Amino acid sequence: MSLSAAEKPLIAVLKGADCSPPPVWFLRQAGRYLPEYRELRRESPDFLALCNTPELAARITLQPVDRFAVDAAIVFSDILIVPHGMGRTVRFLEGEGPYLTPLRCQADIDALDAEGAVEKNRSLMETLRLVRRKLDGRTALIGFAGGPITIAAYMIDGSGGAFPATKRLIKDDPGLVDRLVARLADAVTGLLLAEVEAGADAVQIFDSWAGLLDDDVSFARWCVSPTRRIVARVRDVHPRIPVIGFPRGAGRRYAEFARGTGIHALQVDQDVPLDMMRDLQSICPVQGNLDPGILLAGGEAMRRRAQSIVTGLSGGSHVFNLGHGIIKDTPPSHVADLVNAVRS
């Protein structure tokens, strides 16, 4: 399939077109590696308050678009606005990442506010509307949410890392994990639908810790199956909106995820080799997967690696991206250089 002039290149490719050079954007393209972000951040020490201030969040969303002319803006927010909206305590400690009050029992699940994920996060929809108005007709706008098991893991352990409490609960009380994941899948579905209604052209589900489900049965139960429900519902209401899935660390289970969820496109991490990405392209469009460490180092090695990814995947639908988020010490000039390398 070739590119239609009416459609944004990223959206066309996510729907199965091929495009040379491929559309390009970056995971965590807004954030601390950009001096213009750090400047705004200094004035707003409370990260969640920054996410909830549409004027500022819209400006941050547009910073990488203005600087690098990437093919997508991803709305500035966070996956942890879902537990925050549902009534859990979420704090971002300076230099340490997120901290939540750990969730441990059924009563904690019963107390979750089902509508809160959308109702308490209306400012995100306002940000999307503001950004939508400022973008031209070529740059796509991406909305996102966390995957249910990833959000659940932060809620259960209270912070990121090895997630020992989540792993223990999976063994000791899998039914409780089922009920939490089901509640989160509904909340995520509601949030994604609201984001589309506010102007997102595509949405991405960041299941960053899907890799902690290290056997086929639990991966199917807590990653594939809830994602399939989310995708089916979004597709039902908005059949033209592509949903990108990212079960980071899924390894040889990426193919099962793509087939089993009915996702429109698949983001893969940097551990997935090119020949496996080519195989995945026969299931759906693939997005990825330069190692953010290679971007950090920059230079000729980065340009060569980028070109081999572009060439290697040019036979099918490919969106150029990283395999995980931009590292905070990355010089912005390396990002500009990478965009050039992909487009030349």
Residues recognised as catalytic: 28, 32, 41, 78, 154
User: Which residues in 193-232 contact ligand CP3 (CB under 6 A)?
Assistant: 206, 208
Binding mask 303-342 toward ligand CP3 (x if CB under 6 A, else -) reads ----------------------x-----------------
Instruction: Give the Cα separation of 133 and 121 in Å (integer).
Output: 20
In 3D space, the residue among 133, 135, 142 whose CA is nearest the CA of residue 26 turns out to be 142
Q: Report the nearest approach of ligand CP3 to the CB of residue 75 (Å).
A: 7
Give the ranges where the chain is alpha helix by DSSP (H).
Answer: 9-14, 35-43, 47-51, 54-68, 81-85, 106-110, 116-119, 122-134, 148-157, 164-172, 174-197, 216-219, 225-237, 254-261, 274-281, 292-297, 299-312, 332-343
- Is position 31 an interface residue for ligand CP3 (rule: CB under 6 A)? yes
Nearer to ligand CP3, 68 or 206 (CB): 206
Q: Report the nearest approach of ligand CP3 to the CB of residue 138 (Å).
A: 19
Q: What are the structure tokens assigned to 158, written together?
A: 């209270």
Nearer to ligand CP3, 37 or 219 (CB): 37
Nearer to ligand CP3, 224 or 326 (CB): 326
Instruction: Give the Cα separation of 218 and 266 in Å (integer).
Output: 20
Among positions 7, 21, 28, 197, the unique one binding ligand CP3 when judged by CB under 6 A: 28
In 3D space, the residue among 270, 283, 179 whose CA is nearest the CA of residue 226 turns out to be 179
Residues 6+ apart with CB under 8 A from 342: 21, 22, 24, 306, 310, 320
Piece in contact with ligand CP3 (CB under 6 A), picked from 77-85, 258-266, 281-289, 311-319: 77-85
Among positions 7, 40, 41, 303, the unique one binding ligand CP3 when judged by CB under 6 A: 41
User: Which residues in 110-149 contact ligand CP3 (CB under 6 A)?
Assistant: 144
Instruction: Give the Cα separation of 283 and 281 in Å (integer).
Output: 5
Nearer to ligand CP3, 18 or 63 (CB): 63
In 3D space, the residue among 191, 250, 192, 197 whose CA is nearest the CA of residue 223 turns out to be 250
- Is position 97 an interface residue for ligand CP3 (rule: CB under 6 A)? yes
- Is position 25 an interface residue for ligand CP3 (rule: CB under 6 A)? no
User: Which residues in 150-179 contact ligand CP3 (CB under 6 A)?
Assistant: 160
Nearer to ligand CP3, 30 or 342 (CB): 30
Q: What are the structure tokens assigned to 180, written together?
A: 């939490």
Q: Report the nearest approach of ligand CP3 to the CB of residue 241 (Å).
A: 17
Tell me which residue has its CB nearest to ligand CP3: 208
Q: What are the structure tokens assigned to 119, written together?
A: 């109702």
Q: Report the nearest approach of ligand CP3 to the CB of residue 2 (Å).
A: 29
Piece in contact with ligand CP3 (CB under 6 A), picked from 2-10, 25-33, 233-241, 329-337: 25-33
Residues 6+ apart with CB under 8 A from 133: none
- Is position 257 an interface residue for ligand CP3 (rule: CB under 6 A)? no
Exposure letters 180-202 (e unless 16+ CB within 10 A, then b): bbebbbbbbbbbbbbbbebbbbb
Instruction: Give the Cα separation of 261 and 208 in Å (integer).
Output: 16
State the burial class of residue 43 (Cβ atoms within 10 Å of its Cβ: 0-12, 13-18, 19+). exposed
Three-state SS at 207: strand
- Is position 54 an interface residue for ligand CP3 (rule: CB under 6 A)? no
Nearer to ligand CP3, 141 or 286 (CB): 141
Piece in contact with ligand CP3 (CB under 6 A), picked from 22-30, 115-123, 222-230, 281-289: 22-30
Chain residues that interact with ligand CP3, rule: CB under 6 A: 27-32, 41, 47, 74, 76-80, 92, 97-98, 144, 160, 206, 208, 325
